[in-house]
Chain A
Amino acid sequence: MEENYIKHQYAPILPEKDEWPVVKLARERKDFVKKVAQLAEMRILDLIGKNPEILKEELETTLYREKLRIKQNPWDVDPDDEGLFWGEVKSNLLQIHTEFSGSKAKKLEAYQAVLRKITARYSEEIASNFKASHYKFTRRVVTYGFSRLLNAARVKGFGSLFSNQYTLQDKIQITGQTAQLRELARKGTVVMVPTHFSNLDSILIGWIISVLGMPPFIYGAGLNLFNISIFAYFMNALGAYKVDRRKKNMMYLETLKTYSKEAIQFGCHSLFFPGGTRSRSGIIESKLKLGLLSTAIEAQRANFQNGNSDVSGKIFIVPVTINYHFVLEAPGLIQDYLSMTGQERYYKENDEFSTSYKISKFLFKFFTKGSDISVSIGRAMDVMGNYVDEEGKSLDKWGRVVDTQEYFMSNGKVTVDAQREEEYTQMLGKRIVEEFHKINRVFSSHLVAFVAFELIQSKNAKLDLFDLIRLPQEDLVLNYEEFKAACQRTLNQIFELKAHGKIDAAPHLNRSMDEIITHGLDNVGMYHAKRPLIKDKSGNLTTEDMSLLYFYHNRLHGYGLEKLF
């Protein structure tokens, strides 16, 4: 091995599971759900300025959208009493309309009662069903099951099923600031923000967190994943709360934000995929969804407001990139992307993870044939994007200690200013994107895909992306020597960037160029039916699926490497 990957047993940072914030939260679930509902109600009332007419309008909009959703887009996980509930809301609204024509205060009170019902329902629906026993079981199953599979596949011969030669950590390498992360998780509250390319990310990150000896993180998982029973079990066990992307009404979104903020303030380490959804194009997220991110800033300010201004009340943002040779959903993702940007085809929801069977098949392939994954843990930052040290102290560009609280102060006091926090959220989003690019780890497969696509594009400079993708196969052949020279140029530039701390590279990129190319070709999108890049009989390179090549190529977008072609 060219580099010592971090591969050792981490002692749990909080051995007693009763001390885990997520367990405490599960114990107090009922009260917590109630509190979230109440706070969300207050928040919404503030937003609409306690005006009964606006509240009425919002309620009616929510009702209308919910009825539409139930009719047009029902899911397995949806509770049976949904129609009943919204029917009741409807008759309540009608009743208020006819009975309270006079007094404003009474009207507001009546509408507020309906609002209360809705936030209570949403809050209950969002809340996670974490059970420590399930968690322990899941963790054991994942680790045990995976390592059994792995050993059976790699060590041949009788008895290999019981060999312990390979563990999961041989396949999934964890690099970066692991020690700092463990340290900070003990001292304050961690919000982890990973890149998102595959539905497997959630389980992968859950496993990483447990390997690192940290208590489970809570995170918002798309409710669609709960449609699949095997996923639902894992998700619940890993402390997931539910995010329903179909519900875009203000009341739902505010309840969701309140839940996230309160959980962070409670001390629960959290995980957001700040891209909001899997990257369709394969490009590292550059525009983040700021809704949940803003809750981290809000929670930090609330902690300061409550006088909780030492390290225990501090929130640490930890960017993480997950680096793959192979993304199972790539064909569907890139199709989505192309039809969204190209507009010549209709947009169609394409879910590669629709069945448990498909997932199991992938997992089996993954463990038997092997495709390495690495997870890079970035340096932790405070909510303003300043790096923090092992003690949790924020440092500015010049290494001086910064008091994060001062960002929230005016006239010597911590103050609430929603507009200010909105700006801060944008700043934090930009910093996270910057960090993603710095810790992104280049694999051989990214390199070959990038170079091949750029070469093809430069040979067809007049064509746009959509014409390129439709090129006939015979126009897609690249001479090996030319390809190799271009790979070398690109790799040199990558190492140049790496020397400036602007990107990271996997150790296998230190091999000879022929070896790197072979490694890259073997790995790039290796389980797809149509391979993005292969060697033909004469030793030249060609692609079987140009859009997949484009997808894997995009991983190196955003570094100005295109200038080399």
Chain B
Amino acid sequence: MALKNSSKSQPIGVVGVGSFGTAIANMLAEKNEVMVYARKQEVVEEINTQHSASGKILNPKIRATFSPEELCNSCGVLFFMIPSAAFLEVTRTFGPFLHPYHLVIHGTKGLAVQLGEEEHLDSLKKLRRNQILTMSEVIVKETLAVRVGCLAGPNISTELSDGQPAATVIASKYNEVIQEGQRLLRSEKFQVYGNADIIGVELSGVLKNIIAIAAGAFAGLGLGENAKGLLISRGIVEMAHLSKALGGTASSVMGLAGIGDLVTTCNSPDSRNFTIGFRLAKGESLSQIMASMEEVAEGVNTIRIVDAFLKTAGIRAPITENLHRVLFEDLSIEEALQFLMKYPFSVDVDFV
């Protein structure tokens, strides 16, 4: 058996050394041994010899490996901190080495789709719920791990690395996952909340990216704080309805992963989703913006999936639908805004 030792001497595994992964690895390293996984050998060497990853400073106690097997055999708790575009691939790489005793907590905000061999998201106009997977559903489907959790909330990596106070939420159906996550991450400067509604929390983190694009667009149009307040409040209503339709609860949207993260993202001009909206409003097209961005902003993908889901769910989501038309159907951002201002929202709050 790989796990003979108690958790004290067992390192905590972190998969992925992007900015968020590095920040979490450093926070974990304050109390525990940490082993990180990176795909490229030179990154592994950089971490082990210079204690940095692509220039980001790492706690010297952190060791790196490029062997998924070694990571899985050494660690009982794994944090998956990978961009959503690579999530499925990395999960499949780890699949053969993950056991039912592993606790896996992911920090990825994205959705995956399950398509037939000849289908492609570009050509598919409709999606049913069972064709859409949240990241925790990907893990359960692709590996033997069942005790899965997610980490979501307003957690801008640079602020975390600076040691500024912040909070996060760990969601899981399993109390033990929440408790273990809290034990490992909680510190004087980092508060960790628990939530049993993992789907709702994952969806909050995913759906808020749509609203973040809209917030960027509002800023690009030069709109003021009144408009931002309007957007955030309408955005929350839309997120709550979508979350319910996809199997989450509305109350999770009210928490850190929903409102908390939304407010932060709508106020951070550096975030990728915000930038896309901003540049759209300045008159660039999606393909122009994509050409100059290293990574795809998750919100674009989410808008596509959610728009296709709306066709089968029989509900309306005006912000998402209009952004979809702006991104993929040549609607101008001004027209979309006009449309939203005229849309008959008759009730302020109708989901609580």
Give the complex CA separation of A403 and B7 in angstroms: 21
- Nearest A residue (CB) for B2: A412
Chain A's nearest CB lies how many Å from the CB of B9? 10
Chain B's nearest CB lies how many Å from the CB of A559? 15
B148-188 contacts to A, CB under 8 A, are 173-176
- Nearest B residue (CB) for A412: B3
Interface: B99 (CB within 8 A): yes
Q: Is the CB of A419 within 8 A of B175?
A: yes
Q: Is the CB of B100 within 8 A of A412?
A: no
Also in contact, A423 and B174, with CB within 8 A (given A411-B6, A411-B7, A412-B1): yes
Q: Is the CB of A409 within 8 A of B144?
A: no
Interface: A463 (CB within 8 A): no
Q: What chain A residues lie within 8 Å of B112 (beta carbons)?
A: none
Give the complex CA separation of A507 and B24 in angstroms: 60
Q: What chain A residues lie within 8 Å of B147 (beta carbons)?
A: 420
Q: What chain A residues lie within 8 Å of B96 (beta carbons)?
A: 400
Interface: B76 (CB within 8 A): yes
Q: Is the CB of B100 within 8 A of A411?
A: no
Q: What chain B residues lie within 8 Å of A427 (beta carbons)?
A: 146
Interface: B328 (CB within 8 A): no
Q: Is the CB of B176 within 8 A of A412?
A: no
Give the complex CA separation of A409 and B5 in angstroms: 13
Also in contact, A396 and B144, with CB within 8 A (given A406-B99, A407-B101, A417-B176): yes
Interface: A4 (CB within 8 A): no
Give the complex CA separation of A419 and B146 in angstroms: 14
- Nearest A residue (CB) for B140: A427
Q: What chain B residues lie within 8 Å of A420 (beta carbons)?
A: 147, 174-176
Give the complex CA separation of A409 and B103 in angstroms: 10
Interface: B40 (CB within 8 A): no
Chain B's nearest CB lies how many Å from the CB of A473? 36
Q: Is the CB of B3 within 8 A of A417?
A: no
Give the complex CA separation of A427 and B147 in angstroms: 12
Interface: B4 (CB within 8 A): yes
Give the complex CA separation of A170 and B181 in angstroms: 59
Interface: A384 (CB within 8 A): yes
Q: Is the CB of A412 within 8 A of B174?
A: no
Q: Is the CB of B144 within 8 A of A412?
A: no
Q: What chain B residues lie within 8 Å of A406 (beta carbons)?
A: 99-101
Q: What chain A residues lie within 8 Å of B99 (beta carbons)?
A: 403, 406
Q: What chain B residues lie within 8 Å of A412 (beta carbons)?
A: 1, 3-6, 76, 101
B287-307 contacts to A, CB under 8 A, are none
Interface: A410 (CB within 8 A): yes
- Nearest A residue (CB) for B7: A411
Interface: A283 (CB within 8 A): no
Q: What chain A residues lie within 8 Å of B174 (beta carbons)?
A: 417, 419-420, 423
Q: What chain A residues lie within 8 Å of B101 (beta carbons)?
A: 406-407, 409-410, 412
The tally of residues in A whose CB lies under 8 Å from a CB in B reads 18
Q: What chain A residues lie within 8 Å of B173 (beta carbons)?
A: 423
Once A and B bind, how many residue pairs between them come within 8 Å at the CB atom? Answer: 48
- Nearest B residue (CB) for A414: B101
- Nearest B residue (CB) for A426: B173
Chain A's nearest CB lies how many Å from the CB of B123? 23
Give the complex CA separation of A412 and B176 in angstroms: 14
Chain A's nearest CB lies how many Å from the CB of B3? 4
Also in contact, A410 and B176, with CB within 8 A (given A384-B100, A427-B146): yes
A387-410 contacts to B, CB under 8 A, are 396, 400, 402-404, 406-407, 409-410
Against A, the Cβ 8 Å flags (1 = close, 0 = not) of B86-109 are 000000000010011101000000
Q: What chain B residues lie within 8 Å of A409 (beta carbons)?
A: 3, 100-101
- Nearest B residue (CB) for A418: B175
Select which of A384, A403, A411 is within 8 A of B76 by beta carbon: A411
B1-17 contacts to A, CB under 8 A, are 1, 3-7, 10
Chain A's nearest CB lies how many Å from the CB of B140? 10
Q: What chain B residues lie within 8 Å of A417 (beta carbons)?
A: 174-176
Give the complex CA separation of A423 and B3 in angstroms: 24
Chain A's nearest CB lies how many Å from the CB of B214? 36
Chain B's nearest CB lies how many Å from the CB of A437? 15
Q: What chain B residues lie within 8 Å of A419 (beta carbons)?
A: 174-176
Q: What chain A residues lie within 8 Å of B1 (beta carbons)?
A: 412
Chain A's nearest CB lies how many Å from the CB of B75? 11
Against B, the Cβ 8 Å flags (1 = close, 0 = not) of A425-439 are 001000000000000
Q: What chain A residues lie within 8 Å of B144 (beta carbons)?
A: 396, 402
Q: Is the CB of B100 within 8 A of A407?
A: yes
Against B, the Cβ 8 Å flags (1 = close, 0 = not) of A47-78 are 00000000000000000000000000000000
Q: What chain A residues lie within 8 Å of B76 (beta carbons)?
A: 410-412
Give the complex CA separation of A419 and B177 in angstroms: 11
Q: What chain A residues lie within 8 Å of B6 (beta carbons)?
A: 411-412
Give the complex CA separation of A407 and B146 in angstroms: 8
- Nearest A residue (CB) for B6: A411
Q: What chain B residues lie within 8 Å of A404 (beta carbons)?
A: 100
Chain A's nearest CB lies how many Å from the CB of B26? 24
Against A, the Cβ 8 Å flags (1 = close, 0 = not) of B240-272 are 000000000000000000000000000000000
Q: What chain A residues lie within 8 Å of B176 (beta carbons)?
A: 410, 417, 419-420
Give the complex CA separation of A404 and B101 in angstroms: 10
Give the complex CA separation of A423 and B176 in angstroms: 12
Q: What chain B residues lie within 8 Å of A402 (beta carbons)?
A: 100, 144
Chain B's nearest CB lies how many Å from the CB of A292? 22
Chain B's nearest CB lies how many Å from the CB of A563? 13
Give the complex CA separation of A409 and B1 in angstroms: 11
- Nearest B residue (CB) for A396: B144
Q: Is the CB of A411 within 8 A of B3?
A: yes
Give the complex CA separation of A404 and B100 in angstroms: 8
Give the complex CA separation of A384 and B146 in angstroms: 10
Give the complex CA separation of A71 and B173 in angstroms: 43
- Nearest B residue (CB) for A409: B101
Chain B's nearest CB lies how many Å from the CB of A391? 19
Give the complex CA separation of A189 and B134 in angstroms: 36
Chain B's nearest CB lies how many Å from the CB of A411? 5
Give the complex CA separation of A407 and B145 in angstroms: 9
Give the complex CA separation of A427 and B1 in angstroms: 26
- Nearest A residue (CB) for B142: A397
Q: What chain B residues lie within 8 Å of A407 (beta carbons)?
A: 100-101, 146
- Nearest A residue (CB) for B1: A412
Q: What chain B residues lie within 8 Å of A400 (beta carbons)?
A: 96
Chain A's nearest CB lies how many Å from the CB of B94? 14
Q: What chain A residues lie within 8 Å of B175 (beta carbons)?
A: 417, 419-420
Q: What chain B residues lie within 8 Å of A411 (beta carbons)?
A: 3, 6-7, 10, 76
Of all A-B residue pairs in the complex, the 4 with the closest CB atoms, nearest first, are A412-B3, A406-B100, A407-B100, A406-B101
Given contacts A407-B146, A417-B175, 12 further A-B contacts (CB under 8 A): A384-B100, A384-B146, A403-B99, A406-B99, A407-B100, A407-B101, A412-B3, A412-B5, A412-B101, A417-B174, A420-B147, A420-B174
Interface residues of A (CB under 8 A from B): 384, 396, 400, 402-404, 406-407, 409-412, 417, 419-420, 423-424, 427
Interface residues of B (CB under 8 A from A): 1, 3-7, 10, 76, 96, 99-101, 103, 144, 146-147, 173-176
List 13 A–B pairs whose Cβ atoms lie within 8 Å, in order of A's numbering: A384-B146, A396-B144, A403-B99, A404-B100, A407-B146, A409-B3, A409-B101, A410-B103, A412-B4, A417-B174, A417-B175, A420-B175, A423-B173
